[in-house]
Each structure stands twice: as C-alpha cells, then as structure tokens.
Amino acid sequence: MTKVITYGTYDLLHYGHIRLLERAKALGDYLVVGITSDAYDKTRGKINNQQSLMERIAAVEATGLADEIVVEEYEGQKIDDIKRLGIDIFTVGSDWEGYFDYLKEFCKVVYLERTEGISSSQIRAKNSSLKIGLLGNSQFLEKVYKESKVVNGGDICGIYADNLVDIPSSLKDLELVTDKLDLLLDNVDAVYIHSYPAIHYEQIRYALNKGKHVLVESPVALNRTQYKELVNLAQINKVVLMEAIRTAYSTAYNRLLVILQSGKIGEIVSVDATCTSLKSINNKELDKKWNSITAWGPTALLPVFQILGDDYVEKKIISRVEQENKDIKFDTFTKIDFVFEDATASIKVGRGVKSEGELIISGTKGYAYVPAPWWKTDYFELRYENPADNRRYFYQLDGEGIRYELVSFLQAIRTGSNNVAIATEVTDAIVGIMEDYFEDSNVTLI
C-alpha cells in the first residue's frame, strides 16, 4: 500500500484545495491530511483564518478524500509524521516548490500544480472588506496602519484629526485626510480612535450614533456613567465597541492567564504591575493630554482586574503631579494599592518617570515573573522555592499584539458577537479608576 501525506490550513475550503486533495489521493492508496492548528498557524504568521481548527477539519472530512487526518502543531512535525505513519509520498502545491526538498531523505516528494486564480486569502478579502478610519494624530497610528496591512478583511482608508499638521507623515497619503469628522465617518464602516482621553467619550458616542464600529485606545471614558451610555448605544445600534489594550491580545499574556487559572502557582495572593515611560518628543501638544494614569493606568490595571476580579474592598491612590498643573491632577507618577478579600494588588505607572516595568503575580505555591517590558513580552517564568521546578514559557509576539487586536475587532464585527478579550466588567472597573482619580478628593497628591 502506498501512503501519501499532504498538509495545509484549508480555511474556507475551495476547489483549489479539493483538486489538490484529489490528485494527492490519486498518487497512492491511502491519504493522510495534516491540518494546521490555530496556534501553529499563528507562529507562521497566518493570523487571518476565519474558521476554527474544528471547522477546517470538518470541511476536509466532508470531502471524503482523507483516509486519516492529523493536526500539525509544531515546526518539524512533518518528519515525525512521515516516520511514525510510514509515509511513502509527501505532496503539496507548487507554491511550495523546492521548500520541502529536505524531506526527500525520508520519502518521495511531489509538488502538484497549484490551481490558478483562487486562494483562501482571496476569498477572505472578498468576503468582507471593511473600511476603517483613524481618529487622532498620535504617532502610534502609524503602527496601527502598518499592522493593518497583514490583516485580511479591513482596509484603513482615511484619517481625521482636528489638527492636520501633526498627522504622522506616512498617514498623509491616505485616500481621505480630513479635519471634518462627519466626512470621515460617512466614508467608513469602523473607526480606530487614538486621540486623547478627554474627547474619547464624545468621539465614540458620535461614531456609534452613526452606526460605526469602534475600537478605541483605553481609557474608553473617564467615568462609569459615560461608559454605560456607550455600551447601551453600541447595543442599540448593533455595532461593536471594543477597548484597545494590545497586551490583552498577546499570546504570552493570554497563556499566562490560563496557566494561573489552572492553579500552577497555587492561590493568588498578590498582583503587582509597573508600567512607565519617559515622555515622547514627537508631539508636545498631545503629550499634555496624556498623564500617567490615563496613558498607563489601563494596561497596568488589566492583570489586576482580569486575575483578581473587580470586587476590591478598598484602594489608596498616591500621585506625584506637575506643580503647575496641580488643578487638573496631571500626574507624572501614580501608585495604587488595592485590598481584595483575600489578596492584594498594586500598580505603579509613570510618564516622565522610569522604573522596572515588570509584572509579578505571587501565589501560595510559587510566583509568575514577566520581565520588562511585561506589556509587550513574548516570555514569562513560573518560579518556585526549588529552582529545579522553574518553568520558562516563550511565545511569538508580532507587531506588539496590534495585529491580533485588529483581527479580533474584525472577527467581532463579522460574527456580530462582542466576545472580545477584555470583558465589559474589566473595562468598567478601569473606567471606574479613572473616575475615582479625577473626581474623588481622596487622592493623595505630592
């Protein structure tokens, strides 16, 4: 019996795939199809799959061409599979010509002519190309634009800013560059807002009322009443409102959360997060609009509320403010200590102050250590009393998590679900801290 194996993602199964599978099957008597797992695809930079592994497997099964299906989960697995399954022929499409010649040591390698004029990427792009507009003039939007290029299903086509002079240079060539908000909103399906905290609420409200989906840099709003109103508006208008904290979309951070849930470090006793940076020099006007608590507070608070919940019993806020801007509580450094029923947490955030940007989560059996800058890390460790038990975890992080965030936003729009990485309760708790900071007189200012 001649055993043949072929591999692929098979997203949105199309006739190019079916023709490939038919010819692969005809090469022998028994066909094994390797289907890539979502995690493996992510490490290969394939982040746009619209179907889950289970859906992709079901589609290949339904062709009736595969005698056996295996899931491809790691680099180098092809060699293992070929040896383990006693494969005689390895085959793939001619787009891979030459690439798998190293397998000739283990079996025969055949490249089959690729079917012209069709691919999963093409179908995905055609299915849903949403027009996205940018709001704001932060340099950061350049990164968002760059990352959007690797994401299927959404095109950034314009930018609005109240001051066109400060728009980053690479964005000045977009199709639509305007200081008229209505003009931008009338020409897009969705917006990415990164203006400044004091106007986020107004801009979001305006966009939602026009039926546009919104992805907004945190903080979404500066008090809970505003946030509640925005959530209701999004529901009424059947659009997505999503908070942008890119750390929430990093693979390492997500794995850390589930590992902690599985009790690997025991009961969690303390979460301590620090995020600081010096001021940027590119846009001085914008710099005056982002203080420490708004620029870094949401990111530092994310693990606190995601790990311990939002039900803290008390907190103490201490801030060092610019003396000339004391009236508007413009802090360069803030420390918050939280007391939960059976745990504690602390955050330190600084803009214009530097500290070690690490995240430490202490438990009854051990602790998790995420080195600086923890908010864009690809690595963490679990550490124990006995160093021999320590474990290190590495995951790929492309584009600081922005591309995964965009994929998630487009997925939420496509599927009509608001099931995104940051729960409404967590955003609400973050907004609550902004409210308490600005509106409560109980903040210690130094």
Work out whether 37 is an interface residue with ligand CTP (CB under 6 A).
no
Work out whether 63 is an interface residue with ligand CTP (CB under 6 A).
no
Q: How many residues bind ligand CTP (CB under 6 A)?
A: 17
What length is written for the chain? 446
Three-class secondary structure of residue 373 per DSSP: coil
Q: Which of 118, 174, 177, 259 touches ligand CTP by CB under 6 A?
A: 118
Q: Which of 20, 134, 171, 214 touches ligand CTP by CB under 6 A?
A: 20
Least distance in angstroms from the C-beta of 17 to ligand CTP: 5
Minimal CA–CA distance to 427: which of 222, 255, 285, 238? 222
Using the contact rule CB under 6 A, the part of the chain among 7-15, 143-151, 164-172, 219-227 near ligand CTP is: 7-15
Token match 């383990």: residue?
84
CA 196 – CA 138 distance, rounded (Å): 9
Q: Which is nearer to ligand CTP, 115 or 280 (CB)?
A: 115
Work out whether 8 is an interface residue with ligand CTP (CB under 6 A).
yes
Work out whether 27 is an interface residue with ligand CTP (CB under 6 A).
no
Q: Which is nearer to ligand CTP, 110 or 257 (CB)?
A: 110
Work out whether 92 is an interface residue with ligand CTP (CB under 6 A).
yes
Asked if 3 and 87 touch (Cβ cutoff 8 Å), the reply is yes
Q: State how far the alpha carbon of 397 is from the alpha carbons of 207, 248, 249, 358, in Å.
A: 31, 12, 9, 17
Work out whether 95 is an interface residue with ligand CTP (CB under 6 A).
yes
Using the contact rule CB under 6 A, the part of the chain among 112-120, 162-170, 323-331, 361-369 near ligand CTP is: 112-120
Q: Which is nearer to ligand CTP, 66 or 304 (CB)?
A: 66
Asked if 34 and 72 touch (Cβ cutoff 8 Å), the reply is yes
Work out whether 138 is an interface residue with ligand CTP (CB under 6 A).
no
CA 125, chain centre distance (Å)? 20
Work out whether 121 is an interface residue with ligand CTP (CB under 6 A).
yes
CA 334 – CA 336 distance, rounded (Å): 7
Residue nearest to ligand CTP (CB): 93
Least distance in angstroms from the C-beta of 52 to ligand CTP: 14
Least distance in angstroms from the C-beta of 8 to ligand CTP: 3
Using the contact rule CB under 6 A, the part of the chain among 119-127, 244-252, 308-316, 408-416 near ligand CTP is: 119-127
CA 185 – CA 131 distance, rounded (Å): 10
Minimal CA–CA distance to 73: which of 51, 102, 42? 42
Identify whether 373 is preceded by a cis peptide bond (ω within 30 of 0). Answer: yes
CA 25 – CA 68 distance, rounded (Å): 11
**Greatest CA separation found in the chain?**
83
Q: Which of 115, 178, 187, 254 touches ligand CTP by CB under 6 A?
A: 115
Exposure of 137 by Cβ count < 10 A (0-12 exposed, 13-18 middle, 19+ buried)?
A: buried
Q: CB neighbours (10 Å) of residue 334? A: 28
Q: Which is nearer to ligand CTP, 15 or 74 (CB)?
A: 15
Q: What 8-state DSSP symbol labels residue 113?
A: P
Site string for ligand CTP, 308-327 (x = CB under 6 A): --------------------
Dihedral in degrees, nearest 10, Cα atoms 418, 420, 425, 429: -130
Work out whether 50 is an interface residue with ligand CTP (CB under 6 A).
no
Work out whether 93 is an interface residue with ligand CTP (CB under 6 A).
yes
Work out whether 127 is an interface residue with ligand CTP (CB under 6 A).
no
Which residues here bind ligand CTP, judged by CB under 6 A? 6, 8-11, 16-17, 20, 92-93, 95, 114-115, 118-121
